Chains A and B, each alone.
Chain A
Amino acid sequence: MKDSRFGFLVSLPGTIYVVLLVAFPLGLLFWLSFVRFDFINPIIFVGLENYIRVYQDRVFLLALQNTIIYATGVTVFTMLAGILMAAAVSRIRRFSTFFRTLIILPWAVPLVVSGLVWRWMLDPGVGIYNYLLNISGIFKGTINIFGDPNLAMIACIVADSWTKIPFMFIMVLAGIQSISPDLYEAARVDGANMIQSFKNITLPLSQKSILTGVLINSMFSFRTIDAIWAMTRGGPAKATYVLGIQLIDYLIKYQNLGLGAALGVIMLILVSMFSSVMVYYLLRR
């Protein structure tokens, strides 16, 4: 048997899988988005009607806006925290394994649990963090964080970021550690201080791993609802209502699969556009 034939045969399981569990559902998704499928009326082709109805749904633009705020918030927060922690770990000699292990630990916590834990810690009736915010004077009196639209969004962003910082941290740390120490030495001899060498050496040279981490974390936060589901389910007053929750509502609450599929396609297109820009930018470096 020829080598290429052998390669084709042993990789066949993966190819079959891709056809059955990616290509086929993807095709089904597009087909569904063009038909009326609501378990009541007969299934008929309706063209773009589902897309138009999703767009005209008064929660759609709000959900889109919330999703963008949420994903941006999580991405920026994880990026800044990841860079800060990685830069700090790369500077110390003692206990670096100890700190690294502890920083990675939240990665182990399922997002649902993370959402519930933060909901508990911030709870106005029993939450330790709420109590700390209270006695530190940041808030006057006990405040119901999940009753306030802005605070609820921030709480969801913090809970989601908390589990995503470890990945960002690892990516940035790998990037920083691959930089030759000679560069820093040369910069120091030239009289550069730490801020300058961070700006001119560390950031540009670890840019690729930072951006890869940003790409993956932003893709994930755009689509995951685990933490929001555990904390607010989209409330209060739809302040944390994101596209993912809207899609679940179409499926479970309204049982309108055509609308859900159209929203699924819209989400897919938004993510693809965003990621292609990012990948293009990454590959150009």
Chain B
Amino acid sequence: MMPAPDSKSNIVVRIIEHSLTPYIVLLLSVLFMVSPILLMFLNSFKSMAEALAWPPTVFPARPTLESYIRVFNSSVPLTMRNSLILSLSTTTLVLAIALPTAYGLSKYPFKGSKAILIFYLASRIIPPISLLIPFYIMLSMLNLINTHLGLILIYTYISLPLIIWVVKGFFDEFPKDLIDAALIDGCSRLGAFARVVLPTSAVGVAAAGIITFLWSWNEFLYPMVFTSSTAVGPLTTGVYEFVGDEVIEWSSLSAVGMFASLPAIIFFILAQKYIIAGLTKGALKL
């Protein structure tokens, strides 16, 4: 069936087949994947002087909270509050639109519903940067440049199409018989949705909500262009407060980086399974 392997490839095969090999590969991979986060974490406890020293240290010689104090006295808490406002509002808005829409498209198809679904999918191909200029004009005309409302509207555009597909995937799995039973028991169609379908699809809804929150939290391009003050801008733009033209305050920057990554790290550790289920569901629909 196969050609006889020569001795050289035999050694390679034996190395690959060795039961320790995957562990070695994974240890090296994890080193690559985790070291930046770990180093950033450790760096945030260094003094400003130590963070600028050469050769660089891994562990802080004298751990200090001074960079966190600097961060708290900067505009970072303000931008963090902005990030929270933007992400929470966007998540609420996206779910409020996506849940009924996905429900209708999943359980009560109508003429043209397939086309709408495909349009959602196709709209994901549009590079957000292509719409930067049209959005700029729309926001200027509505006087929404440098406002939270303007950003929330645009943020919605980023996640809604995917979220509709993710939620629809969960609704598709819900048996129609159960809905019919609720209808016979006297529920209205909306009542059946609210009392029967939504509670059982809670996992999917939570996954969709977390994905939206994280995407909004991480968004950089639109706020960079559409905000001009720390009173409105999110943390992803606030990070740049410590990036000067000449000197970068690396220890403070590391502290801000930790704050910026924190919500997602917490979500990932707590709800990894659901986020992954939601994302792969949306992605595999392509």
Please tell me if the beta carbons of A117 and B40 are within 8 angstroms of each other in the complex. yes
| Interface 0/1 of B1-39, CB less than 8 Å to A | 110010001001100110001110110011011101101
Interface residues of B in 221-273 (CB under 8 A from A): 221, 224-225, 236, 239, 243, 248, 250, 253-254, 257, 260-261, 264-265, 267-269, 272
Most B CB atoms within 10 A — which of A13, A216, A251, A265? Answer: A13
Contact of A125 among B54, B101, B102 (CB under 8 A): B54
Please tell me if the beta carbons of B26 and A209 are within 8 angstroms of each other in the complex. no
Please tell me if the beta carbons of B261 and A109 are within 8 angstroms of each other in the complex. yes
Q: A8-B110, A113-B261 are in contact. Are A126 and B250 (CB under 8 A)?
A: yes
User: Across the interface, which residues of B come within 8 angstroms of A99, CB to CB?
Assistant: 26, 29-30
Please tell me if the beta carbons of B276 and A264 are within 8 angstroms of each other in the complex. no
User: Across the interface, which residues of B come within 8 angstroms of A15, CB to CB?
Assistant: 101, 116
Q: Does A205 sit at the interface, judged by CB under 8 A?
A: no
Please tell me if the beta carbons of B22 and A107 are within 8 angstroms of each other in the complex. no
Please tell me if the beta carbons of B33 and A106 are within 8 angstroms of each other in the complex. yes
User: Across the interface, which residues of A come within 8 angstroms of B96, CB to CB?
Assistant: 13
Q: Does B100 sit at the interface, judged by CB under 8 A?
A: yes
Interface residues of B in 127-155 (CB under 8 A from A): 127-138, 153-154
**B52 (CB) vs chain A CBs: closest residue:** A126
Contact of B116 among A6, A18, A118, A174 (CB under 8 A): A18
In this complex, how many residues of chain A approach chain B with their Cβ under 8 Å: the count is: 99
User: Across the interface, which residues of A come within 8 angstroms of B22, CB to CB?
Assistant: 87-89, 91-92
Give the interface of B toward A (CB within 8 A): 1-2, 5, 9, 12-13, 16-17, 21-23, 25-26, 29-30, 32-34, 36-37, 39-40, 43, 51-56, 58, 96-98, 100-105, 107-111, 113, 116, 119-120, 123, 125-138, 153-154, 156-157, 160-161, 164, 189-190, 193, 214, 217-218, 220-221, 224-225, 236, 239, 243, 248, 250, 253-254, 257, 260-261, 264-265, 267-269, 272, 276, 279-280, 283-284, 286
Q: Show 13 residue pairs from A and B whose CB-CB distance is below 8 angstroms, ordered by the A residue.
A: A8-B108, A10-B108, A11-B101, A11-B113, A12-B101, A14-B120, A15-B101, A29-B133, A32-B137, A99-B29, A170-B276, A193-B13, A223-B128
